[in-house]
Structure 1
Amino acid sequence: MFLTITSTAPAATDLGFLLHKHPGRVQSFELSVGQAHVFYPEATAQRCTAALLVEVDPIALVRGKGSGGPDGFSLAQYVNDRPYAASSMLAVALGRVFRTAMAGRCDARPELPDQRLPLEVRVPALPCVGGVEVARRMFEPLGWTVEATALPLDPRVPHWGPSRYLDVRLAGRVRLAEALNHLYVLLPALDNTKHYWVTTDEVDKVVRAGAGWLREHPERDLILRRYLAHRRTMVSTAVGRLAEVDDAEPRTVDNAVPDGDTDELPPRSLSLAEQRRSAVLAALRAAGAARVVDLGCGEGSLLRALAVDPVFTELVGVDVSARALQVAARRLRLEQMSERQRERIRLVQSSLTYRDTRIAGFDAVVLMEVVEHVDPARLGALERTVFTHARPATVVVTTPNVEYNVRYPDLPAGHMRHRDHRFEWTRAQFRSWAETVAAERGYTVRHLPVGVDDPEIGPPTQMAVFTRLDATGDAR
């Protein structure tokens, strides 16, 4: 299996920094199915090419496996295309060898990952169910120019016709991390099979790699069905997870080179998740909060945004899920922080509906997209936990506006945005709840839109900012 990535950007050898692989060395990596090698066939200031070669060990590939599966006939485990054709094994190698590059990190040159580069990708033997047309449908919406040629079954016997293998060349101006994530997801989707058993972990992988582009891809359902081995439950879960990550808000996929000689590109539109984090940060700064609790912090997206701002001197992330807190710790890179930095941040496993003295006495508590995950019968307990026991000076709450759901064409009528939502409020329902809580618990409240405020149905997300009466100097 073989794949090359070429950069023709000025100072093209910066590709080595982005991939974390030195152009002057050959590097090898052990895989469960063999060995991967990275080397550079060319490395000049004008053009730099990195090659990934995967050598498959046919014995390791079948060791301990039965005769079932897509290669289930008697000799298929030993006579197949796996050593030669790009497949899920090549995708696994990408994730193993270029993990840091796929995450968009480059500690040596932190400005590089955000740069769109003129890239060329070649996969000389790519199995594709559906042929050239399907390859175009999957890559072109992402800004790639696709040149694909069907390889003959046997060049010496032309009347046998074309095989299912393509020689694919992609060209586009994209961020390297985006390019690697596109390949990681689409290679096995084009092949329409995987060399390993598909479990629920695959949902996590496709959501992580597809964040920011797969949710709005016109062939999203086809890609997910193939990537997840046509497991309906997993596909439904992945659709919901992608909607949660990207909030069903389209991002601009803009990989075209602008007119003229300038290197500037039009700014991409912010996802709803980014707009919501910005709105919460603005509310906390306006309140003068320095010590903040993120209640229901999940995998730490808000905590990461808070952690880079020195205004916030103490941060506590609280979630009932131990797994979510483990992911948050990895994303925050707590182990890599200095002792002083780590002292600013704590992760706490706790229920949102039980009193916990560890979250009392802070300047602010944030419930960002949390209340809709709580059973209505337990909302009173949540209110007591936050507004009576913790009792911060400021409480920020965001939640979906159900009226806006009609703007999502892929969301069936009557369905909620996420499978775990217990309810979704209209603007009037949210306002009524917030004003009742404020009156009963000694707070004032103001309402703010997040996202485009549609004159007919309001914004996609609604936000309430509660301020404790005695914190403003008013008598309670």
Structure 2
Amino acid sequence: MLLSIATRHPPATDLGFLLAKHPDRLQTFDLAFGEAHVFYPHADADYCEAALLVEVDPIALVRGRGDGGGPLSQYVNDRPYVASSFLSVALSRVFGTALNGDSKSRPELAASAIALDAQVPVLRCRAGEDMIRRCFEPLGYAVDVERLPLDAQFPEWGESDYYRLKLSGTVRLSELLRHLYVLLPALDGDKHYYVGDDEVDKLVDKAAAWLPAHPEREWIALRYLKKRRSLARAALARLIDVDEDDVETAEIAREESEARIERPLSLNDQRMNAVVAALRAAGATSVLDLGCGEGRLLGRLLDDARFARIVGADVSPLVLERAAERLKLDRLAPLKRARIELVHGSLTYRDARFAGFDAACAIEVIEHIDASRLDAFERVLFEHAQPRTIVLTTPNVEYNAKFETLPAGRMRHPDHRFEWTRAEFRAWAEGAAARHGYRVEFLPVGEEDAALGPPTQMGVFTR
């Protein structure tokens, strides 16, 4: 696995002082699982690039691992090649001084933000490109991501969960290293060693200056700590200086901000009733709920025996855990439990698991997607999943004027990227239907205002 860091900040060769590694020498370091090498492909006053190459010993890799990933996991896996917790360990071992922000030779430069580029040739991220951007862009980086094919010689095999990543930003070197130290294993979603309380200390140490204000802090903490929710709560409680129980309360409160605004109308109940009615009218027996959240629609579908196969998909593992708890999946009768599945996946990337359903729903989801990713969402839903029926709801921004507790110009939820007028929604929906061979019918949800329309607008697409 490889990481390169480069700068043009004059004189660029000062990067060697910041990393405490001389550009003229190849240096090798022993690690518990192999070796790390530091070398400089380029080093002059105008441009300097340092590379960290980590070679994983396959024998050390499998020692003590067992066969938890399957009988071949010890012999066939991606661990020697992708940026992961192995690379984070190497960063700490090899660039520990720079990671701490120290430099005996250039202390002023170590404390200064300079233009830096970082490149990772291969990063695994099952949550997709959108999550890579959502992790790094709030930290001020320009993010260049390229999805890699499973095999360039066989494009018909489709796309992979692997990406080439380039970051560019004006930051302190220690900040860049700390961001990579935490985010690379979080995006990879696995760690090669036991995760316990000491990992909470590492996360707090490396992320205290930036994670508390990060919009994806819950997702990052949970993934960095290998989905151990109790550890994630403990880490977030220390990072944002609240009790552990308050972390859960704060996250629930954020998700319910929209519900509080709409609650006087009982709009959520009306919305769910309308969606279930549309699914029944379509004769659907298998339903995919994209962006299922905490499972409010899933629960209603699960209580209706006509829906024999139900799958909820969401990009947030934390939300999926709450959905499982809310639906009491661990306590369902076997036949009922067999009808429902929760899957982690991105709504803007093709996923074979999304195909083969009678109907798909995207309830109050589209407004959470960046406008630049709407085309990708459309292709995933209409072109690749291709259900017979699609039910999609979104807020009607015109109706916002009737919510007394919503300030003028504000959207109903802090994570909404946009909210459409009726004309805007109609234009998008009719265009998507025409492009993919669907018909669309528009239905109001909630009491209609003569001038402003309904609070929620729903499109039912059929083919």
Counterpart check, 1:239 vs 2:239: no
What residue number does 1:84 align with? 81
| Equivalent residue in structure 2 for 1:175, among 172, 176, 184 | 172
- Residues in 2 aligned to 1:29 and 1:167: alpha-carbon distance in whole angstroms: 25
Cα separation, 1, equivalents of 2:182 and 2:113 = 20
AA in 2 matched with 1:159: E
- Cα distance in 2 between the residues matched to 1:37 and 1:222: 32
Q: Provide, for residues 110-136 of structure 1, a one-character-per-residue CA deviation record: whole Å limited to 9, x for no partner.
A: 111111111111001011121211100
8 Å CA contact 2:148–2:162 kept in 1: the answer is: yes
**Pairing partner for 1:97 from 94, 98, 117:** 94
Residue 179 of structure 2 aligns to a residue whose secondary structure is helix
AA matched with 1:79: V
How many angstroms apart in 1 are the aligned matches of 2:95 and 2:119? 17
Partner residue, 1:38: 38
Match of residue 193 from structure 2: 196
Q: Deviations over 1:226-269 (max 9, x none)?
A: 00011111011101111249xx9xxxxxxxxxxxxxxxxxxxxx
Q: Which residue of 2 aligns with 1:158?
A: 155
Distance 2:119 2:84 in 1: 14
Residue equivalent to 1:121: 118
Q: Deviation per CA, 1:444-470, whole angstroms, max 9, x where unpaired?
A: xxxxxxxxxxxxxxxxxxxxxxxxxxx
Distance, in Å, in 2 between the alignment partners of 1:129 and 1:65 is 22
Who is 1:430 aligned against? none
Distance 1:5 1:237 in 2: 33
Residues of 1 paired with 2:240 and 2:27: CA distance?
A: 38
How much has 1:161 moved relative to structure 2? 1.5
1:184 aligns with 2:181: yes
| Aligned amino acid, residue 162 of structure 1 | E
Distance across 1 between alignment mates of 2:86 and 2:45 = 32
Partners of 2:184 and 2:65 lie apart in 1 by: 23
Residue number in structure 1 paired with 2:64: 64
- What is the CA distance between 1:84 and its match in structure 2? 1.0
Q: Which residue of 1 aligns with 2:4?
A: 4
Segments of 5+ residues of structure 1 without an aligned counterpart are 249-408, 411-476
Partner of 1:75: 72
**Separation in 2 of the partners of 1:152 and 1:36?**
27
Q: 2:227 is matched by which residue type in structure 1? A: H
Q: What's 2:53 paired with?
A: 53
Match of 1:140 in 2: 137
The residue identity in structure 2 corresponding to 1:8 is R
Structure 1 residue aligned with 2:370: none
| Larger helix percent | 2
Q: Is the 8 A contact 2:65 2:74 kept in 1?
A: no
Maintained 8 Å contact 2:211/2:217: yes
Q: CA deviation at 1:67?
A: 1.9
For residues 8 and 221 of structure 1, the distance between their equivalents in structure 2, rounded to whole angstroms, comes to 35
**2:287 is matched with which residue?**
none
**Partner deviation per Cα, 1:137-164 (whole Å, 9 max, x = no partner):** 0000000000000000011111221111
**Superposed counterparts of 1:18-29, under 5 Å:** 18-29=18-29
What is residue 107 of structure 1 aligned with on the other side?
104
Counterpart CA distance in 2 for 1:103 and 1:93 is 14
Q: CA shift at 1:65, angstroms? A: 2.8
Alignment of 1:265-284 (within 5 A): none
- Once residues 78 and 65 of structure 2 are traced to their aligned partners in structure 1, the CA distance between those partners, rounded to angstroms, is 17
In 1, the alpha carbon distance for the partners of 2:206 and 2:31 equals 20
Secondary structure at 2:15 match in 1: helix
Is the counterpart of residue 14 in structure 1 residue 8 in structure 2?
no
Aligned positions of 1:49-448 closer than 5 A: 49-68=49-68, 72-244=69-241
The normalised TM-score by structure 1 is 0.50
Looking at structure 1, the residues matched to 67 and 80 of structure 2 have their Cα atoms a distance apart, in angstroms, of: 19
How many Å apart are 1:64 and its aligned residue? 2.5
Q: In structure 2, give the amino acid aligned to 1:138.
A: C
CA shift for structure 1 position 199: 1.1
**Aligned-pair CA distance for 1:57:** 0.2
Q: Deviations over 1:345-372 (max 9, x none)?
A: xxxxxxxxxxxxxxxxxxxxxxxxxxxx
TM-score (norm 2): 0.52
- Answer yes or no: is the 8 Å Cα contact 2:3–2:121 preserved in 1: yes
For residue 36 of structure 2, give the secondary structure of its aligned residue in structure 1.
Answer: strand
Give the counterpart letter for 2:132 in structure 1.
A
C-alpha deviations, 1:156-204, integer Å up to 9, x for none?
Answer: 1112211111011110010000000000000000001111111111100
Within 2, Cα distance between the matches of 1:159 and 1:90? 31
Structure 1 residue matching 2:61: 3-state secondary structure: helix
Paired positions, count: 245
Code of the residue aligned with 2:2 in structure 1: it is F
- CA offsets per residue over residues 284-315 of structure 1, 9 Å max, x none? xxxxxxxxxxxxxxxxxxxxxxxxxxxxxxxx
Secondary structure at 2:240's aligned position in 1? helix
Please give the alpha-carbon distance, in whole angstroms, between the structure 2 residues aligned to 1:73 and 1:60.
18
| Percent identity for Structure 1 against Structure 2 | 57
Instruction: Give the drift of 1:27.
Output: 0.6
RMSD of aligned residue pairs (Cα, Å): 1.7
Separation (CA, whole Å) in 1 of partners of 2:65 and 2:179: 30
> What is the CA distance between 1:59 and its match in structure 2?
0.2
Secondary structure of the residue that 1:60 maps to in structure 2? Answer: helix
Q: 2-side partners of 1:46 and 1:131: how far apart? A: 35
3-state secondary structure, aligned to 2:145: strand
